[in-house]
Amino acid sequence: MNDILRPIKSVGIVGYGAYVPRYRIKASEISRVWRGEQDGNHLPIKQKSVPGPDEDTITMSIEAGKNALKRAAINPKKIRALWIGSESHPYAVKPSGTVVAQALDIFPANTSGDMEFACKAGTEAMQAALGYVGSGMAQYAMAVGMDTAQGRPGDALEYTAAAGGAAFIIGPASEALAELEGAFSYVTDTPDFFRRNYEKYPQHGNRFTGDPAYFHHIRAAVQTLMEGLNLKPSNFKYISFHQPNSKFPRKMAEELGFTKEQYTTGLLSPLIGNVYAGSSILGFTATLDAAQPGDRILLASFGSGAGSDAFSFVVTERLLQAKAKAPSTRWYIQRETVVDYTTYARWRGKIRK
Amino acid sequence: MDIPRYWRLKDQRYRLQGTVCEDCGHYSFPPRLVCPNCKSKRQKPFAFSGKGTVFSFTTIYQTIERYQDQVPYLVALIDLEEGVRITAQLTDVDSDEVEIGMPVEMVVRKFYADGDNGPIFYGYKFRPIATGS
Q: What is the pLDDT of residues A284-338, one digit of tens each?
A: 999 999 999 999 999 999 999 999 999 999 999 999 999 999 999 999 999 999 9
Q: What is the mean pLDDT of residues A124-150?
A: 97
Residues 75-94 of A with CB under 8 A from B: 90-91
Percent of chain A with pLDDT over 70: 98
Cβ atoms within 10 A of the Cβ of B95, count?
12
Hey, what amino acid is at A338? Answer: V
Work out the mean pLDDT of chain A and round it to a whole number: 95
Do A118 and A248 share a domain, yes or no?
no
Q: What is the pLDDT of residue A41?
A: 59
Do A173 and A303 share a domain, yes or no?
no
Q: What is the pLDDT of residues A219-254, one digit of tens each?
A: 999 999 999 999 999 999 999 999 999 999 999 999
d(CA A129, CA A68): 14
Report the residue from A91, A99, A327 with minimal CB separation from B130. A327
Residues in B closer than 8 angstroms to A286, CB to CB, are: none
d(CA A54, CA A151): 19
Do A63 and A155 share a domain, yes or no?
yes
Residue A209 is given by DSSP the state G
Pick from B49, B110, B121 the residue to mutate for testing the A interface (most A CBs within 10 Å): B110
A63 sits in which H/E element = helix A57-72
- pLDDT tops 80 at residue A207: no
Q: What is the torsional sign of CA A170, A243, A271, B71?
A: positive
Do A33 and A142 share a domain, yes or no?
yes
Q: What is the torsional sign of CA A84, A194, B120, B8?
A: positive
Do A139 and A220 share a domain, yes or no?
no
Name which of A26-35, A91-100, A244-253, B78-87 the model is least confident about.
Answer: A26-35
- pLDDT tops 60 at residue A255: yes
Q: What is the pLDDT of residue B133?
A: 63
Question: Cα separations (Å) of B131 from A68, A242, A321, A326, B25?
Answer: 14, 27, 16, 7, 30
Q: What is the pLDDT of residues A41-85, one digit of tens each?
A: 578 889 999 999 999 999 999 999 999 999 999 999 999 999 999
Q: What is the pLDDT of residues B81-108, one digit of tens each?
A: 999 999 999 999 999 999 999 999 999 9
**Would you say A21 and A61 are in contact if contact means Cβ atoms under 8 Å apart?**
no
- Cβ separation B14–A103 shorter than 8 A: yes
In a domain? residue A352: no
- pLDDT tops 70 at residue A258: yes
Residue A303 is given by DSSP the state B
Residues in A closer than 8 angstroms to B14, CB to CB, are: 62, 99, 102-103
- Cβ separation A56–B108 shorter than 8 A: no
Do A289 and A162 share a domain, yes or no?
no
**Would you say A121 and A115 are in contact if contact means Cβ atoms under 8 Å apart?**
yes
In a domain? residue A22: yes
Q: What is the pLDDT of residue B24?
A: 97
Q: What is the pLDDT of residue A205?
A: 78
Q: DSSP labels for A135-166?
A: TTS-SEEEEEEEEE----TTSGGGGTB-EEEE
- pLDDT tops 60 at residue A39: no
Interface predicted TM-score of the whole assembly (ipTM), two decimals: 0.95
In a domain? residue A6: no
In a domain? residue A4: no
Do A16 and A75 share a domain, yes or no?
yes
d(CA B89, CA B24): 30
Do A317 and A328 share a domain, yes or no?
no
- pLDDT tops 90 at residue A142: yes
Rounded (10°) CA dihedral A334, A280, A139, A291: 60
Å from B103 to nearest chain A CA?
Answer: 16
Do A170 and A310 share a domain, yes or no?
no
In a domain? residue A96: yes
Å from B107 to nearest chain A CA?
Answer: 7
Nearest CA in chain B to A348: B69
In a domain? residue A331: yes
Instruction: Find all residues with CB under 8 Å of A53, minimum gap 6, and list them.
Output: A346, A347, B69, B70
Band (A204; pLDDT cuts 50, 70, 90): confident
Q: What is the pLDDT of residue A227?
A: 97
What is the CATH class of B49-120?
Answer: mainly beta
Do A84 and A221 share a domain, yes or no?
no
Do A46 and A99 share a domain, yes or no?
yes
Name which of A136-150, A198-212, A334-348, B16-30 the model is least confident about.
Answer: A198-212
Strands of the sheet containing B27-28, edge to edge, are B27-28, B17-21, B43-47
Number of folded domains that form chain A: 2
- Cβ separation B132–A105 shorter than 8 A: no
Report the residue from B68, B92, B131 with minimal CB separation from A22. B92
Percent of chain B with pLDDT over 70: 98
In a domain? residue A199: yes
Q: Where are the alpha helices (DSSP H) in A135-272?
A: 216-229, 247-255, 260-263, 269-272
A330 sits in which H/E element = helix A329-334
Q: What is the mean pLDDT of residues A28-47?
A: 80
Cβ atoms within 10 A of the Cβ of A301, count?
35
Q: What is the pLDDT of residues B59-82, one digit of tens each?
A: 999 999 889 888 999 999 999 999
Strands of the sheet containing A79-85, edge to edge, are A111-115, A79-85, A140-148, A163-172, A11-19, A178-190, A305-315, A296-300, A238-241
Do A24 and A158 share a domain, yes or no?
yes
In a domain? residue A136: yes
d(CA B71, CA A215): 45
Residue A123 is given by DSSP the state H
Work out the mean pLDDT of chain B and round it to a whole number: 94
Domain range for residue A299? Answer: 178-321
Q: What is the pLDDT of residue B95?
A: 92
Q: What is the pLDDT of residue A37?
A: 62
Cβ atoms within 10 A of the Cβ of A278, count?
37
Catalytic residues of A: 87, 119, 242
CATH number for the domain spanning A220: value is: 3.40.47.10
- pLDDT tops 80 at residue A40: no
SS3 A347: helix
d(CA B16, CA B107): 10
